[in-house]
Amino acid sequence: MALLEVNNLEVYYGVICALKGISFHVNEGEIVSLIGANGAGKTTMMQSTVGIIPKKGGSVIFDGQDITKTPCHKIVQLGMTQVPEGRRIFQELTVYENLMMGAYTVKDQQRFKADMDRVFELFPRLAERRKQIAGTLSGGEQQMLAMSRALMINPKLLMLDEPSMGLAPILVDQIFSIIKDLHKAGTTILLVEQNASKALEISDRAYVLETGKITLSGTGKELMQSPEVQKAYLGG
């Protein structure tokens, strides 16, 4: 059964239609990616799915529950969260405090400690810098912090919006290998990327989004070999 099912999602900014009825699904245990150019509606899709921006039409079903009209903070409590585009960490708080914010809905102290240890194991760099003000971290470290912060609730589904944006190539590789590790550890992942080749390489399935519509879908491999995708996104 699909963990996340989005049907005919429509989003408008004023009179401008940003998403013209898109449908996709993510099965439990998969990495699914959505690729597309700037302005295709990738971030809009992410934000409306999780309830940050309102939906005009369509439905979203997560883990068997209809969450079309559920407010964002409640969706997060159901186990679906998102690492937003541009990381959006709390710049003025320390690394540790950022992680505490991530665990805002976790009331069990023991679970909180265990999650914190797990995250520090995944990202030893953050453990070294736990007292540092987050705004002073490097771009790569901030991305790691944003991911750790989202992991603090043990999400069933982790949505990543452009995790490689603005990072040096060596860090991009590192972030993608971390995504693979997280997936191996059992987290279902929905990835939105401009870096199509990297995203397709690690994805089970993928969708291509073009100006508010899904134009292609298939397995990661299929899309990598598709002539349209090669031409438009892979520089082939």
Partner 1 sequence: MKLLETLLNGLSSGSTYAMIALGYTMVYGIAKMLNFAHGDVIMVGGYTLYVSAVMMGIHPLLALLLAIICCAVLGVTIEKLAYKPLRGASPLAVLITAIGMSYLLQSVAQMIFGSADRMVRLFDLGRITVGSMQISTYTIITLACSAVIMAGLSLFVKYTRIGRAMIAVSEDKDAAQLMGINVNFIITITFAIGSALAAFAGFFMVLKSPPVNSTLGAMPGIKAFTAAVIGGIGSIPGAMLGGILMGIVESFAQTNPVIAPFTVAIEFSILIVILLVRPSGILGKKRREKV
Compare residues 84 and 220 and give the one whose CB is closer to partner 1.
84
Q: Which is nearer to partner 1, 116 or 208 (CB)?
A: 116
To 10 degrees, what angle do helices 109-122 and 169-184 make? 130
Q: Is the Cβ of residue 159 or residue 224 nearer to partner 1 in the bound state?
A: 159
**Stretch 24-83 residues interacting with partner 1 (CB under 8 A):** 47, 50-52, 71-73, 76-77, 81-82
Q: Using the 8-state DSSP alphabet, how is residue 126 labeled?
A: H
What strands lie across the sheet with 57-62, from one edge to the other? 16-27, 2-13, 57-62, 65-66
Stretch that binds partner 1, among 15-23, 96-104, 192-200, 220-228 (CB under 8 A): 96-104
Provide DSSP, 170-210.
HHHHHHHHHHHHHHHTT-EEEEEES-HHHHHHH-SEEEEEE
Q: Assess 91 for contact with partner 1 (CB under 8 A).
A: yes
Burial of residue 66 (CB within 10 Å: 0-12, 13-18, 19+) is exposed
Count of residues in contact with partner 1, rule CB under 8 A: 28
Residue 76 CB, nearest distance to partner 1 (Å)? Answer: 4
Site residues for partner 1 per CB under 8 A: 47, 50-52, 71-73, 76-77, 81-82, 84, 86, 88-93, 97, 100-102, 104-105, 149-150, 153
